[in-house]
Structure 1
């Protein structure tokens, strides 16, 4: 991967179904995988993660070309997909496994993530504190196949879920997209 100049970025933004499509549609993105990270259970299943006993968050791991789509742009897009002030989950989905985090893979990503979080906090866009965690990347476990590219496999259900969860309206209201 590094021979081709590709890098990894990992973000937890609540339900991973809703985090794939926005990144997958960008130039320079070579893949987006739904999965679990940050916990203590090896090879967790969706059912196990939902019990809130594994410590894992639902996340996406993105393979990207930084020459085409820099990490700073990934961070901007990430912030535009979440409510960074919600410590209890995201939208309709509640619990630790649905909380937000940026998992940095190196010191440069860590610094850029810290800078972007600070910039968002100082922007005045949100009245409450930004609670999204910045954590060192750990083992990423891909989710079951039926979760991968859910927006393509089940477009109607995905659209209804994205709208029904409150995510789509929040993004439109806060970011105008």
Structure 2
């Protein structure tokens, strides 16, 4: 899990409505991760892009080199009174192979790794709890590689 800072933002979504929150999940190809969230109750919008790297505003070609440290990710803006962060985590875990550190399914490379980027301590706590429950659930023979 990694703390996420919101940069260059005119106003935080939380100032519009205290129930509005943001979540970011990296789970392989972002085009594959976006659809499971689009029609969930309470999801206001989704955006795909790159996160977790050391280069500001990288291009697709730069990310594909594996040198930027970025992962493909989906950013979800949601109303927590209609869909909980825990619900979003459940969707995440059901759409990835959490044991593979080298990519997801046919997509290989560090940009396709899995990770949860949290915005506050509550999200961090819930993400860590869900990862621990998955690891202890006995479903997988290998350790959970998701960061």
The TM-score normalised by the length of structure 2 is 0.89
Q: Which has the higher helix share?
A: 1
- Name stretches of at least 5 consecutive residues in structure 1 with no aligned partner: 134-177
* Residue in structure 1 matched with residue 28 of structure 2 by the alignment: 14
Please give the per-residue CA displacement for 1:118-144, whole angstroms capped at 9, x wherever unaligned: 0011111111111100xxxxxxxxxxx
2:141 matches 1:127 = yes
Could you tell me how far 1:25 is from its partner in structure 2?
Answer: 1.4
* Residue in structure 2 matched with residue 49 of structure 1 by the alignment: 63
For 1:84 and 1:52, the matched residues in 2 are separated by: 20
The TM-score normalised by the length of structure 1 is 0.74
For 1:43 and 1:49, the matched residues in 2 are separated by: 10
* Residue in structure 1 matched with residue 119 of structure 2 by the alignment: 105
Count of aligned residue pairs for this structure pair: 133
For 2:74 and 2:94, the matched residues in 1 are separated by: 15
Q: 1:36 aligns with which of 50, 55, 58?
A: 50
RMSD (CA atoms):
0.7
* Residue in structure 2 matched with residue 75 of structure 1 by the alignment: 89
* Partner SS, residue 33 of structure 1: strand
For 1:18 and 1:33, the matched residues in 2 are separated by: 12
